[in-house]
């Protein structure tokens, strides 16, 4: 057994683990990085990158039939599903070197490709190596949760970890789960020529503002996606080429099944009890992202039991580097400024409080302002007028923002910055933006907030009258 000592041992080479390893090593810490599966983790191999790549192919196919309003005759796309999957693989291969073992070894990180398990509070075993470290960082991420539905073990099904390996287009894809993964894959496959049925036990896109979610749901339905809400999957039967999902309200039969009901944190292999690390569905941590029962252990990303997004793992990594490497023990993680996006078309983006949360917190001090895409010249010019921005304002500052529409994921950045830095609505209103751009919608919604104060105020009109009367 080879024995290794280091300053920081990172377990997991996904977004968070890689960021910690790179930052700590380049600052001079002795770092060991352990990964039992693929470098780059879920995001590169099974999540963000492949899903957005498949959505890009689907967007291109859909666009070929949508040009009539712009004077371009629509045509029926000839979709090569296998070639679309080749595009997905090509994108992964292009990005992979950024997350590769060779690159991180170039930073001075020792990379061990094996599964890690704690031996005690200061020691991890990975294969034939025993690593003792001053600090550990758990960055194991999460994998698809497969619920114990009757019959599911006897039928073939896909998860986000396997759907991108499918080479033949499904005739009829059944999707259990109407969250972001389920809805993105539903629209992608519908646009690539599959019939799609989404089965959701509660509400589709249930974590988002319902008013905005309904816009996305309506669009998917208009493209032929059947969305069944409020019906739990009770039983699954069938085999290759024919799978039936039975619910309280009836049964649905398709050629393929995708299970997309949520995520489960990857902790099973770690033997956390040996390390004295308290955990339940995730590791129990404070806002400093340290284990509450073993202060040598930090946790980032999904394993910390907070928002499950790649950008959150990267944000957590910055907190941990400041604390574990630079000794800034006061560094704390927050969640009120974290944005998220569902990459359907239209996109659905959010940051900060929801309207219900803001009303509960601020009561009568809350103002809700909105602006529609169809009043933005660039959106009109491109024929992408479906959608709107909703901003929740209290005491002159945005407390939450939601956007549904074209490029909502890009547009939410301005509100994420404002909320993260405690900026006032005036910071948005004072920003000069190029014309014509979609980003004008953010400035216009800020203008909507100030308009009543300026144009509907008797005192302002009186003051202007006096100024005009006596102005030399």
CATH numeric code, 2-39+100-144+264-325: 3.50.50.60
Distance of CA 75 to the CA centre of its chain: 33
Asked whether residue 307 is marked as a ligand-binding residue, the answer is no
Q: Write down the pLDDT at residue 272.
A: 98
Q: Write down the pLDDT at residue 302.
A: 98
> What gap in Å lies between CA 376 and CA 408, rounded to an integer?
14
Comparing 152-262 with 339-455, is the CATH topology the same? no
Q: How confident is the model at residue 455 (pLDDT cuts 50, 70, 90)?
A: low
Asked whether residue 224 is marked as a ligand-binding residue, the answer is no
Q: Write down the pLDDT at residue 457.
A: 66
Q: What ranges make up the beta strands (E) of 123-269?
A: 123-126, 129-138, 142-144, 172-176, 195-200, 226-229, 233-239, 242-247, 250-254, 256-259, 263-265
Q: What is the pTM of this model?
A: 0.94
Asked whether residue 140 is marked as a ligand-binding residue, the answer is yes
> What gap in Å lies between CA 176 and CA 228, rounded to an integer?
10
CB count within 10 Å of CB 281 equals 10
Asked whether residue 5 is marked as a ligand-binding residue, the answer is no
Q: Where are the domains of the chain?
A: 2-39+100-144+264-325, 152-262, 339-455
- Say which CATH architecture domain 339-455 belongs to: 2-Layer Sandwich (3.30)
Q: CB of 161 within 8 A of CB of 43? A: no
The superfamily CATH assigns to domain 152-262 is FAD/NAD(P)-binding domain (3.50.50.60)
Q: CB of 362 within 8 A of CB of 235? A: no
Q: How confident is the model at residue 468 (pLDDT cuts 50, 70, 90)?
A: confident
Asked whether residue 175 is marked as a ligand-binding residue, the answer is no
Asked whether residue 360 is marked as a ligand-binding residue, the answer is no
* Chain segment 352-368, per-residue pLDDT in tens: 999 999 999 999 999 99
Q: Write down the pLDDT at residue 218.
A: 98
Asked whether residue 302 is marked as a ligand-binding residue, the answer is yes
Asked whether residue 141 is marked as a ligand-binding residue, the answer is yes
* 471: pLDDT strictly greater than 90: no
Distance of CA 17 to the CA centre of its chain: 17
> What gap in Å lies between CA 242 and CA 170, rounded to an integer?
11
Q: Write down the pLDDT at residue 341.
A: 98
């Amino acid at each position: 057994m080879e024995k290794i000592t280091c300053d920081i041992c990172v377990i997991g080479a996904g977004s968070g683990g890689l960021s910690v390893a790179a930052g700590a090593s380049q600052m001079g810490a002795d770092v060991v990085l352990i990964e039992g599966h693929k470098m780059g983790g879920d995001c590169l191999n099974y999540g963000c990158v492949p899903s957005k790549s498949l959505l890009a192919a689907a967007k291109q196919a859909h666009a070929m039939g949508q040009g009539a309003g712009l004077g371009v005759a629509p045509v029926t796309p000839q979709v090569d599903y296998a070639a679309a999957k080749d595009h997905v693989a090509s994108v992964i291969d292009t990005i992979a070197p950024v997350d590769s073992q060779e690159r991180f070894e170039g930073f001075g990180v020792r990379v061990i490709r094996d599964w890690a398990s704690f031996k005690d509070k200061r020691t991890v075993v990975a294969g034939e190596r025993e690593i003792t470290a001053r600090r550990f960082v758990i960055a194991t991420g999460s994998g698809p949760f497969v619920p114990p539905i009757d019959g599911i073990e006897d039928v073939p099904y896909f998860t986000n970890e396997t759907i991108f390996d499918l080479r033949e287009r499904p005739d009829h894809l059944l999707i259990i789960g109407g969250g972001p993964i389920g809805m993105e894959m539903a629209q992608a496959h519908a646009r690539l020529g599959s019939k799609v049925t989404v089965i959701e036990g509660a509400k589709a896109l249930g974590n988002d503002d319902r008013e905005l979610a309904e816009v996305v749901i309506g669009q998917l339905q208009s493209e032929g996606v059947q969305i069944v809400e409020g019906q739990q999957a009770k039983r699954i039967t069938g085999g290759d080429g024919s799978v039936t999902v039975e619910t309280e309200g009836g049964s649905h039969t398709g050629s393929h099944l995708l299970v997309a009901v949520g995520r489960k944190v990857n902790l099973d292999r770690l033997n956390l009890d040996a390390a004295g690390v308290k955990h339940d569905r995730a590791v129990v941590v404070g806002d400093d992202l340290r284990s509450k029962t073993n202060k040598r252990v930090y946790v980032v990303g999904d394993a910390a039991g907070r928002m499950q997004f790649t950008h959150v793992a990267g944000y957590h990594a910055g907190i941990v580097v400041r604390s574990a490497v630079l000794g800034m023990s006061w560094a704390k993680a927050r969640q009120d400024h974290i944005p998220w996006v569902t990459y359907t078309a239209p996109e659905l983006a959010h940051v900060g409080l929801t309207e219900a949360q803001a009303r509960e917190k601020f009561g009568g001090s809350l103002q809700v302002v909105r602006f529609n895409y169809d009043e933005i010249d660039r959106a009109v010019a491109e024929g992408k007028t479906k959608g709107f921005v909703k901003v929740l304002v209290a005491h002159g500052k945005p407390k939450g923002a939601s956007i549904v529409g074209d490029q909502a994921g890009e547009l939410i950045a301005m509100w994420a910055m404002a909320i993260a830095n405690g900026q006032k609505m005036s910071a948005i209103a004072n920003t000069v933006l190029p014309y014509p751009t979609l980003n004008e919608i953010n400035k216009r919604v800020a203008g909507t907030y100030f308009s009543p104060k300026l144009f509907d105020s008797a005192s302002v009109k009186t003051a202007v009258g006096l100024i005009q009367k006596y102005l030399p």
